[in-house]
Amino acid sequence: MPRRPAAALATSGEVLRLIRSGEAATRADIGRVTGLSRPAVSLRVTELLERRLVVEDSEGPSTGGRPPTRLIFNASGGVVLVGSLGASRAQVAVCDLAGKVLADTALSVDVEEGPDVVLPLVMRSWSELLGDRPVSLVRGVGLGVPATVEFAAGRTESARIMASWTGVAIPPIIAESFPAPVFLDNDVNVIAIGEHREIYAGEADDLLFIKVSTRIGSGVIAGGEILRGALGAAGEIGHIPVRDGGGVLCRCGNIDCVDSVASGTAILRQLRARGHEVTSLADVVSLVRAGDAETMTVVRDAARMLGEVVASAVNLLNPSVVVLGGDVAETFQPMVSGVREVIYRRSTALATRNLRIERSRLGPSAGIIGCAHMVLDHILSPEAVDSAGWQPPRSVRSVRSLV
């Protein structure tokens, strides 16, 4: 392990990062990895112990003699509140500081009713899920929403989708009840973070997540981090136009966006136009199972058009894995195989040399798990830990939001 130069002394926040990541488990490890002197290590560890970010494990391995005290990240030293908002339902949860779900529930919501209706519902659920735990235990809050989000401002940014939410800064509203840093992100970004961290971390750090559901969206993980772009609009794959889309007007105002020709909504619309009485994806599943040739054609066409757009994204981003999620991709094997075929045909040889195309493995909890990681990455970063914001949970403190 290389020693750090003395000029760049590791802070308490960096020492915590080493303990959380497993790179250092004892005071001696910390000294070895950071190059800090023994008193300097002791100072930082004492601070982390006092702030209850770290606890000592007296049950060290018995190797004869007195084992060195092990330092463990205190995952129960606080909680984060997370929520994943969809068009008609929301999942909310309380997680510990390792991202483990402690309590969760699902809510029926109509997101179009706006933040004045939806946010109080979500916040009431968080209060119920907290139970006897004091609000002062809440270290951070995260919400994934089905809209483009200007990440730093915590504002949604979609003129025609979730119109009643547009321009509303969500964090101050939530922080009034839960005084902690609040983070808002696009729902697909949050799912991409969850899928990457739980399934692919360290193995595939360049990942493209495509959600095919009522709508089509994507989240890009580049070098292990979510790619948000300058303001938060990166990954808006749904509004890239396709060839031969038939001239369909998209809800964004453009023609033949992949969202308007290959999403679950588009598949239902096309089947209805061909005289099938379908109202939900379950109806489409039945037709696929029954081997209905027309339905198979519609699904394959959708897969071809989506595949073209994903192939361009693969050329641009060179991911090592493309993950297809959302209920359409998870339900229809012809969709996945169709997309796979087009990607291999239309992407460059180098971009597809080691490319894997997989179905989502995390399932419906991906949103809240990803949200927990998004919040924890921020509130446990060395910079956040070294700032004055993180104090022991003795009483309700007014912690200024980071956003």
Q: Which residues bind Zn ion (CB under 5 A)?
A: 239, 250, 252, 254, 257
- 394 C-beta neighbours (distance < 10 Å), count: 9
Instruction: CB nearer to Zn ion: give 197 or 239.
Output: 239
Instruction: CB nearer to Zn ion: give 36 or 257.
Output: 257
Q: At its nearest, how many Å lie between Zn ion and the CB of residue 84?
A: 23
DSSP H or E run through 44: helix 38-50
Instruction: CB nearer to Zn ion: give 77 or 238.
Output: 238
Q: At its nearest, how many Å lie between Zn ion and the CB of residue 228?
A: 20
Query: CA separation (Å) from 233 to 73, 155, 169?
Result: 34, 12, 16
Q: At its nearest, how many Å lie between Zn ion and the CB of residue 313?
A: 16
Between CA 356 and CA 360, with CA 357 as vertex, the angle to 5 degrees is: 120
C-alpha to C-alpha distance for 26 and 364, rounded to whole angstroms: 38
Tokens 């004869």 sit at which residue? 64
Q: At its nearest, how many Å lie between Zn ion and the CB of residue 36?
A: 53
DSSP H helices in 248-323 = 258-262, 264-273, 281-289, 293-317
357: left (phi over 0), alpha (psi -120 to 50) or beta: beta
Instruction: CB nearer to Zn ion: give 43 or 252.
Output: 252
Instruction: CB nearer to Zn ion: give 40 or 252.
Output: 252
Q: For the CA atoms of the chain, what is the radius of gyration?
A: 24
Instruction: CB nearer to Zn ion: give 250 or 323.
Output: 250
Query: CA separation (Å) from 354 to 150, 203, 317, 338, 350?
Result: 33, 13, 13, 19, 8
- Per the CB < 8 A criterion, the answer to whether 234 and 228 are in contact is yes
Closest Cα partner for 204 from 371, 350, 317? 317
- Per the CB < 8 A criterion, the answer to whether 256 and 250 are in contact is yes
Instruction: CB nearer to Zn ion: give 254 or 365.
Output: 254
